[in-house]
C-alpha cells in the first residue's frame, strides 16, 4: 500500500504544480511580461508550498482549527478511544486535541502515522455513545493510515495559491496592469481563459480528492472497528448537530453563540463539514452527501454480514 500512496502524492504534487505554472505563464502574458519568468516563479512557489505543507501540515492544521493538544488526564475517555483504535490499526498513539465547539465533530491531521494528531470537539462525548465515538475515531485513523490529510492539505494549499494568483492577475488587468504594447489579442484571450478555468480545475481536483478520501475512510473505519452501524448512527447525529450548531462562513467563522470557529480552509479535514451552508453550497462541498455515505456504509455492512436497519 505504501508505494501506491506515495505514487498518488507524487501525482498530486505534479498536477497542481503544473496548474500553478500554467497560471504563472498566463499571468505573464496578461501583464505584458516574459511569461517564462512568471512560470519559473510559480515553480519556486510550488516547491516552497509543497515543502512547508509536507513537513508542517500537522502544526498548521492544528493552529488553523484552533485545537488544543491535551494530556490523557484532561480527557481520559477520548484518549482511551483513540488508543484502542490506534492499536487495532497497528500505528503509534497519535497526539490528541480538543476544539472548543458546541457542535460535535472530529478530524485528523499529520503527514503519516508517526506525526498524527486526532482532534475532536469538546461536545462530542456528550453526543456519541462510546461505540459511536470509536467508529468515528476509526474513520479518522483511516485518514492517518492512508495519508489523506497530507494530500488534502497539499490540494487545499495549492488550490488556494492558484486562485489567489489568478485573482491578483485579473485585478491588475482590470485596473491597468501590464504593458498594452506587448500584448497579442489572441494570446490575451487564451491567457484570460486560463486564469479563469485553471483555478476552477484545481478546485475540482481538491473536491474529488476530499470526497473520495471520505468514502475510503468510512470504509476503513467501519471494517477496523467492525461497526458500520455505529458509524452510520454517529454520522447522522453529527450532521444533525452541525446543521443547528455548526459554524457559519458568512460570520467570520463564528457560531450563533459567538464562539471562535476554525478556518474554512480546514473544512475538508472534518468527518462532517463543520460549516452550515445552503443547498447550492453543498454542490461544492468537500464532503460527499450524507445519504450517499450512509448508503455505502449499509452496503459495506451487508458485505460484512452485519445487520444495519
Nearest to 217 by CA among 156, 272, 264: 272
Report yes or no: 82 and 94 within 8 Å, Cβ to Cβ: yes
Burial zone of 188 (CB within 10 Å; 0-12 exposed, 13-18 middle, 19+ buried): middle
Each residue of 24-54: pLDDT tens digit?
888 888 777 788 888 898 888 888 887 887 7
Domain edges within the chain = 2-62+148-201, 70-147+210-303
Q: Identify the helix (H) or strand (E) that includes residue 300.
A: helix 290-303
- Could you tell me the pLDDT band of residue 65, with boundaries at 50, 70 and 90? confident
The position carrying cell 455548526 is: 246
Active-site entry in 114, 132, 134, 140 = 140
Q: Which residue has the higher pLDDT, 159 or 215?
A: 215
According to CATH, the topology of domain 70-147+210-303 is Zincin-like (3.30.2010)
Burial class (CB in 10 A: 0-12, 13-18, 19+), 84: middle
Q: Which of 1-10, 38-47, 97-106, 206-215 is predicted least confidently?
A: 1-10
How does pLDDT run across 177-220, given as a tens digit for each residue? 554 444 456 666 776 777 777 777 766 666 666 778 899 999 99
Q: How far apart are CA 120 and CA 40, in angstroms?
A: 41
Is 114 marked active-site? no
**Using 50, 70 and 90 to split pLDDT, how confident is the model at 254?**
very low
Amino acid at each position: 500500500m505504501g508505494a501506491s500512496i506515495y505514487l498518488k502524492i507524487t501525482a498530486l504534487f505534479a498536477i497542481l504544480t503544473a496548474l500553478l505554472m500554467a497560471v504563472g505563464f498566463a499571468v505573464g502574458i496578461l501583464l505584458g511580461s516574459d511569461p517564462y519568468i512568471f512560470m519559473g516563479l510559480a515553480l519556486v512557489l510550488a516547491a516552497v508550498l509543497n515543502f512547508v505543507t509536507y513537513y508542517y501540515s500537522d502544526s498548521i492544521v492544528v493552529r488553523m482549527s484552533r485545537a488544543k493538544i491535551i494530556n490523557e488526564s484532561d480527557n481520559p475517555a477520548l484518549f482511551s478511544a483513540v488508543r484502542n483504535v490506534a492499536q487495532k490499526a497497528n500505528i503509534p498513539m497519535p497526539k490528541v486535541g480538543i476544539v472548543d465547539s458546541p457542535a460535535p465533530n472530529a478530524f485528523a491531521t499529520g503527514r503519516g502515522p508517526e506525526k498524527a494528531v486526532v482532534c475532536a470537539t469538546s461536545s462530542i462525548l456528550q453526543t456519541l455513545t462510546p461505540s459511536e465515538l470509536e467508529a468515528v475515531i476509526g474513520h479518522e485513523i483511516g485518514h492517518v493510515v492512508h495519508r489523506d490529510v497530507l494530500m488534502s492539505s497539499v490540494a487545499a494549499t495549492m488550490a488556494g495559491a492558484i486562485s489567489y494568483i489568478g485573482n491578483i492577475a485579473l485585478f491588475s488587468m482590470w485596473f491597468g496592469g501590464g504593458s498594452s504594447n506587448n500584448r497579442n489579442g489572441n494570446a490575451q484571450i487564451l491567457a484570460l481563459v486560463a486564469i479563469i478555468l485553471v483555478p476552477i480545475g484545481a478546485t475540482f481536483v481538491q473536491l474529488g480528492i476530499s470526497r473520495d478520501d471520505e468514502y475510503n475512510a468510512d470504509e476503513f473505519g467501519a471494517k477496523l472497528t467492525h461497526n458500520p452501524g455505529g458509524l452510520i448512527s454517529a454520522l447522522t447525529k453529527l450532521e444533525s448537530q452541525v446543521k443547528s450548531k455548526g459554524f457559519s462562513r458568512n460570520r467570520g467563522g463564528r457560531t450563533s453563540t459567538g464562539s471562535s470557529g476554525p478556518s474554512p480552509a480546514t473544512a475538508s479535514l472534518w468527518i462532517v463539514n463543520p460549516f452550515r451552508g445552503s443547498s447550492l453550497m453543498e454542490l461544492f462541498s468537500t464532503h460527499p452527501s450524507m445519504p450517499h455515505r450512509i448508503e455505502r456504509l449499509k452496503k459495506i455492512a451487508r458485505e460484512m454480514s452485519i445487520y444495519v436497519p
